[in-house]
Chains A and B, each alone.
Chain A
Amino acid sequence: MIRVFRDVNVDWLGKRRIFIGLSIVLMLAGMGTALYRHKVHPNGSEAFNLGVDFKGGTVLIVRFKQAPSVEDLRAAISKAAIKDALIQPVLDKKGQFLVRVPHQGFEESQTGESQAGVDAARDKVREALNSFGAEAEATKSLEEDAKAAYKIEGTDAVGQIASKQLRTQAIAVTVAALIGMLLFIAFRFEWTYGAAAVIAVFHTVLVTLGLFSIFQIEINLTVIAALLTLVGFDVNDSIVIFDRIRENRKLYRRMSLYDVTNLSINQTLSRTVITSGLVFLSVISLVLLGGETLRPFALALLMGIIFGTYDTIAVAGPIMVWWEKRLEAANKLPSLTPRQKGVNANVSREERARSGVGKPSRAA
């Protein structure tokens, strides 16, 4: 039998200071970068590279028969009075470009649109691109239309009001999902367990967002979906360990919570690593083959899985144990907390009294 880990006996909780310290450093680095970018705008960047979904504006996907250089394209577009357009060639599709046009406040005179709606950027860009030749007819593909030089294959335009709505919605959904998790775990386990799991997840979300800020990866609707998936996935990991703790507390009534937690993390370690590895494999295939549209989504998942696995072991456990101890100390007279390592630690009276903390497990 192949085994990743053989009888691991690591004192994870003993290293909690290093872990928590590392987590705080990671979070601060990400949030610090975001704050710095927000205040200073180095190279015109913002705290987060928000996509059109959240910032408003237009993205067009244009395909050429004869791909012009990015410089020519940029010159043509800025000639048409379109400000600050970003042009990005699509790496794996020849002749294809992404043209990002920030919100310009063009007025669509014919329909009398206000500045809160979407821009007429598609028309403006089409005007600019006509200097390279005609666009393919609407009913024909680029290949079918012999006279055409290019075709606008897709657009994503979002107005100011909608982008603001989507922004609030994204934050609200993430917070609601976290609260939902907290309630569910509190129902199945204890408040402290729920809080620990949610803090761990929140940490992962913050670290992932921080990395998105550092590397200026675009944040769009699908990234939020990825973050929410992470929330679920990450809490899963914590629950597997909590389930084990609950079970072990009944089996080893004399063992301290500290040791039971360590034991449970060690017992489930191979599962944690294998599952994360497998999800990692499927996400890697998404990063490699999923195409340009899904890349930010896949990257968010990739980062989240790495930190999600780490925080289950390094953050959720220690916080839960610390919290339970605080509660214990508040309930009972102050006493020495056992610091000894190893499975056969001395068991204090308090802990014996508190054994079987978790609600009865159905498996027992």
Chain B
Amino acid sequence: MKKKNLLQRAIIIGVVTVVGIYIVIGPHGRRPHFKDFTWSGIKATLAQNISLGLDLKGGSHLVMRVKVEDYLKRLTEDSATAAQNAAKDAGFDVKEARAETTGGNYRVSLQVGDPSKVKDIRDAVEKKVDLSDRTGWSFSSSGNTVSWTLKGATQVALGESATDQAMKIIESRINAIGVAEPTLARHGGQNSHEILLQMPGVQDPEHVKQLLAGQSHLELVHVVSPPSPAPSQTYSTKEEAIASLNSGGNIPTNRRVLPYTERSELATQGANPNAAPPKKWVVVESPAIIDGAELRTATANPARAGGEEYDINFALKKSGADKFGAWTGANINEYMGVVLNDEVKSIAFIKGQIFDQGEITGRFSKQSSEDLALTLRSGALPAAIEYQEERTVGPSLGADSIRSGVRASVLGLALVVVFMLFYYRGSGINAVVALLLNMILMIAGLIMFGATLTLPGIAGIILTIGMAVDSNVLIFERIREELRSGKTVPSAVEQGFGHAFVTIIDTHVTTIVSSLFLYVFGAGPIRGFAVTLVLGLLVNLFSAVYVSRTIFMWLLTHKGKRVESLSI
């Protein structure tokens, strides 16, 4: 062991230690001041440097799932209606259109009158409706049934894009309500259709939850009714409305029966405005004239100046305005309904051609009208979302966790230090130095990689304390063995490190392998645990092997002469 080698090692260790300590307690991104190195200054920068997980600093953690099956179901149903209309428009006889959406299969099928025309019907439908092979539907026919089935790969692709779209919409809603430092990310594997939202500091996510899940699916529809001046046709029960369709109790695919809460009559009659308005039913045409996708903007405004009730005004995009303008121009005196979330909010007859402005009236409170306008502006979610996980941690609970975590770490460290000093005496100091350095470098590593410290992460640190000394125990026990077999001190140290090193590498690699599994497959809190454990083990190769060995080298050389004994 040469002097020069020792000096080189000492310099490396010194630099790493100083850099490590600075990373932990020094301020980042600005010049350090003298007061940064006072006790309170260190505490403040430490709190800034280490990013704490939600379980330690408090906040909400929401996992939501996009109900992609609803999205695919609606797509299939809409396609069935469109296919029937397209076939009829081309002059074919279609008896029935069905959308089968059970058991993960999505199929559109038409019962046609003339089985010999199957090919023509297919061409006619696929010309107008996105049911071709290219868009992911596979065609089949048997007898007088023609059907299109959504391919598995397309289901996956559509599901993914619906989830991505939902995530964008959720992001814009969160930004609109001003949640501080939110984290939004895809969650779980492919096909889980899950989105993770973390909101630090939000203790009660109820309002945010409602706002995000808010469906706000707006449609403008043609109400089936004799034209004005006759009053709009409404029914007092759903059954009555269905009976009016004369289709044997079924609702044909080109019609919908929707509830309608009439409010204008109440106001004119001067009845008690708090009484629940009577619910009526109306029949509307399907598909809608235009829907929320054509919306350019929506705002909440008081219905009357200074009034308690609010309306929502909306404006349409260019393409929607063109469609709407054409329809209103052709349907003067017909009744049109504004449908929000499958409920008719208002019915009005068309006085003249309207292009791009409209209004939803419906006795909204200020809060609910603003929420609705916001969800309308951000666009409709492609499908409903449901919450799969909701975890909230109040700040005092987080502080409790930090306190107990720190206490447990200190106690664990103290117990280990006492044992090492007692059992290995002089060399125990060596192990303790290595252990403390391990702690510092591990925290420095956490800060450098921007990893967040969670409660399981603290558990990982405590466990690392126990596992880190394992390397020293292996080395020391081996050195003792070599000494017992009669070797001189320098060669015992040499042999001890040499033999123990192979074992240390093997044990470290196995633990790192299992931690990698934890990281790759594990959910949030488990990841934090895996990160600290892996960092601790990597650092340990430096602190318990390299640093320990250097200390031994120094002990063996600085006395100048041959060393006869070792305190171990």
Contact = CB atoms under 8 A, between A and B. Distances in A.
Contact of B65 (A111, A117, A152, A294): A117
Interface of A: 1-3, 61, 63, 93, 110-114, 116-118, 122-123, 138-139, 141-142, 151-159, 161-162, 165-166, 169, 172-173, 176-177, 180-181, 184-185, 188, 221-222, 224-225, 228-229, 231-233, 235-236, 239-240, 243-244, 247, 267-268, 270-271, 274-275, 277-286, 288-291, 293-294, 297-298, 301, 361-363
Contact of A243 (B506, B511, B521): B506
A45 B536 CA distance: 39
A184 B498 CA distance: 22
11 contacts: A1-B480, A2-B422, A112-B215, A117-B65, A122-B206, A180-B516, A228-B517, A233-B511, A239-B503, A275-B474, A279-B470
Contacts of A114: 67, 386
Nearest to A244: B503
A285 B514 contact: no
Contacts of A301: 463
Nearest to A114: B386
Given A222-B525, A239-B503, A275-B473, A118 B397 contact: no
A271 B409 CA distance: 23
Contacts of B521: 169, 172-173, 176
Contacts of B514: 177, 180-181, 228-229, 231-232, 235
Given A161-B388, A271-B474, A275-B469, A138 B203 contact: yes
Interface stretch (B111-119, B231-239, B242-250, B399-407): B399-407
A232 B67 contact: no
Given A118-B387, A240-B507, 12 more contacts: A1-B480, A63-B396, A138-B204, A151-B394, A157-B391, A181-B510, A225-B456, A225-B525, A232-B515, A278-B416, A290-B459, A363-B498
A280 B26 CA distance: 34
Contacts of B391: 154-157
A289 B407 contact: yes
Contact of B408 (A93, A155, A285): A285
B513 A184 contact: yes
B502 A361 contact: yes
How would you classify the secondary structure of chain A's contact residues: helix, strand, loop or mixed?
helix
Given A161-B65, A177-B517, A285 B392 contact: no
A246 to B, nearest CB: 9
A156 B393 CA distance: 9
The bracket for how many chain B residues form the interface is 35 or more
B518 A281 contact: no
Contact of B466 (A181, A240, A282, A361): A282
The CB with the most chain A CB atoms within 10 A, among B390, B511, B515, is that of: B390
A153 B397 contact: yes
Nearest to A90: B400
B384 interface: yes
Contacts of B404: 289-291, 294
B477 interface: yes
Contacts of A122: 206, 390
Contacts of A93: 400
A2 B397 contact: no
B387 A184 contact: no
Given A141-B396, A153-B397, A288-B408, A282 B387 contact: no
A157 B390 contact: yes
Interface string B419-451: 110110100000000000000000000000000
B135 interface: no
A281 B416 contact: yes
B412 to A, nearest CB: 4
Contacts of B215: 111-112
Given A151-B394, A154-B397, A155-B392, A184 B466 contact: no
A173 B516 CA distance: 10
B52 interface: no
Interface of B: 55, 63, 65, 67, 188, 192, 194, 203-204, 206, 209-210, 213-215, 384, 386-397, 400-401, 404-405, 407-409, 411-413, 415-416, 419-420, 422-423, 425, 455-456, 459, 462-463, 465-467, 469-470, 473-474, 477, 480-481, 498-499, 501-503, 506-507, 509-511, 513-518, 521-523, 525-526, 529-530, 533, 568
B459 A286 contact: yes
B209 A159 contact: no
Given A165-B192, A279-B466, A118 B390 contact: yes
Contacts of B387: 113, 117-118, 157, 159
Nearest to B477: A271
A231 B507 CA distance: 12
A137 to B, nearest CB: 9
B465 A362 contact: no
B431 to A, nearest CB: 10
A243 B415 contact: no
Given A111-B209, A158-B388, A236-B470, A282 B510 contact: no
Top-8 shortest CB links A-B = A279-B466, A117-B386, A282-B412, A162-B388, A232-B514, A291-B404, A285-B411, A282-B466
B396 A225 contact: no
Contact of B463 (A154, A231, A279): A279
A283 B409 CA distance: 10
Most A C-beta atoms less than 10 A away, residue of B397, B455, B480, B498: B397
Contact of B523 (A112, A166, A233): A166
Contacts of B473: 271, 274-275, 278
Given A165-B188, A236-B510, A278-B469, A267 B481 contact: yes
A246 B517 CA distance: 28
A294 to B, nearest CB: 6
B466 A281 contact: yes
A57 to B, nearest CB: 11
Nearest to A173: B521
B342 to A, nearest CB: 10
B92 to A, nearest CB: 38
B140 to A, nearest CB: 31
Contacts of B204: 138, 152
Nearest to A281: B415
A161 B188 CA distance: 12
Contacts of A162: 63, 65, 194, 388-389
Contacts of A229: 463, 514, 529, 533
Given A173-B522, A275-B469, A363 B499 contact: yes
Contacts of A362: 502
A226 to B, nearest CB: 8
Nearest to A226: B459
